[in-house]
Amino acid sequence: MPACVRLFCADRFYCLCSDGTEEKSGFTNPDFRYLFRTQLSISYLLFNMAEKDQMSVIDFHSHFLPGIDDGSRSLEESVRMLAMTQDQGVDFFVATPHFYADRDRIDDFLARREDAYRKVLGTDIAKPRILLGAEVAFFSGISRAADINRVCLAGTDILLLEMPFRTWKEEDIEEVDRLIRRRGFRVMLAHLERFLMYRENKGFIYDLMDMDTIVQVNSGSLLKWQRRGPALKLLKYKGIGLLGSDCHRSDVRVQNLGEGRAVLRKKLGDGFMDEMDRLGADLLNIRR
């Protein structure tokens, strides 16, 4: 249902709807009609600009830093990915390269991330604001890892956690619970919908959502009809969630956050989108 704005003059009005259609009453003079349509178009432009100022679009999950993981293979590809991010309307871009505790020391990982980040900052392309984090692969004993806080998102206590791609065990869920209850982390569950491929994990997935967790869904899942329904079901169950593009390259697994947001708005409505954007801004302490 398109939103409409009307301008009144005595007992006559001119109406312009957000879908571009017109509703006219009384104004037969084309000069009046042109004047009123121009004024209404300007009103919509100012309204949309105000909305943009109020709400920041955040991509919570990406792999665009060059040469650090299985994402961007070069600085040139990172530049292409940043251009795509601009096209998708992203204001804040959270860089979350993979961190695997069994392959990397945290100090080495952070040094490589900083080097890749500085290379990106040195380019001339227009950029969204870039925040640093990591996609931390689950491992047994993660709740006892002393320095795991150093790979949280953008200096917060938010841990973007990728659960293992296998059938889960009760001990895995208990580890997540300890991260929350004993360590005080806010655990964001990366692309939770992808783990529905394991039937045995379905009950565990709902156990995780019943905890004080944050559900992150990939925008690409909303663009594929096979994954869209299950992803929406998780978001509805949790009541709120966040989106990430999980973009890896400029040719495959591309930046599509704006497209995913459009689907989510259509399916769950403006209210859900507003709450999602507010949650994201609050978590990262973003004020505009």
pTM: 0.82
- Across the range 67-79, mean pLDDT stands at 98
Instruction: Read off the pLDDT band of 55 (50, 70, 90).
Output: confident
Report strand pairing: 92-95 vs 58-59.
parallel
- Across the range 262-281, mean pLDDT stands at 97
Instruction: Read off the pLDDT band of 54 (50, 70, 90).
Output: low
CATH of the domain at 226: 3.20.20.140
Dihedral-angle region of residue 220 (phi above 0 means left; psi in -120 to 50 means alpha; beta otherwise): alpha
Question: CB of 248 within 8 A of CB of 224?
Answer: no
Provide the percentage of residues in the chain whose pLDDT is more than 90: 80
Q: For CA atoms 78, 79, 82, 88, give the dihedral sign.
A: negative
Q: For CA atoms 105, 107, 110, 115, give the dihedral sign.
A: negative
Comparing 53-57, 67-71, 150-154, which segment has the lowest mean pLDDT?
A: 53-57
Q: Is residue 48 part of a domain?
A: yes
Structural domain boundaries enclosing 9: 4-53
Q: Do 233 and 168 lie in a common domain?
A: yes
Q: Is residue 32 part of a domain?
A: yes
Q: Do 106 and 229 lie in a common domain?
A: yes
Instruction: Read off the pLDDT band of 34 (50, 70, 90).
Output: very low
CA angle 251, 256, 261 (to 5 degrees): 170
Q: Is residue 288 part of a domain?
A: no
Q: Do 11 and 28 lie in a common domain?
A: yes
Provide the percentage of residues in the chain whose pLDDT is more than 70: 81
Q: What is the model's pLDDT at position 2?
A: 44
Backbone angles phi, psi at 40, to 5 degrees: -70, -40
Q: Do 246 and 116 lie in a common domain?
A: yes
Q: How far apart are CA 172 and CA 14, in angstroms?
A: 61
Instruction: Read off the pLDDT band of 275 (50, 70, 90).
Output: very high
Dihedral-angle region of residue 208 (phi above 0 means left; psi in -120 to 50 means alpha; beta otherwise): alpha
Q: What is the model's pLDDT at position 68?
A: 97
Q: Do 41 and 163 lie in a common domain?
A: no
Of 25 and 155, the one with more pLDDT: 155
Q: Is residue 168 part of a domain?
A: yes
Q: Do 13 and 137 lie in a common domain?
A: no
- Across the range 97-113, mean pLDDT stands at 97
As for how many domains the chain has, the answer is 2
Q: Do 34 and 61 lie in a common domain?
A: no
Q: Do 31 and 80 lie in a common domain?
A: no
Q: Do 205 and 164 lie in a common domain?
A: yes
Comparing 47-61, 132-146, 250-264, which segment has the lowest mean pLDDT?
A: 47-61
Mean pLDDT, the chain, whole residue set: 87
Interval 5-24: pLDDT, tens: 434 333 334 344 444 444 44
Q: Is residue 111 part of a domain?
A: yes
Interval 205-245: pLDDT, tens: 999 999 999 999 999 999 999 999 999 999 999 999 999 99
Interval 140-184: pLDDT, tens: 999 999 999 999 999 999 999 999 999 999 999 999 999 999 999
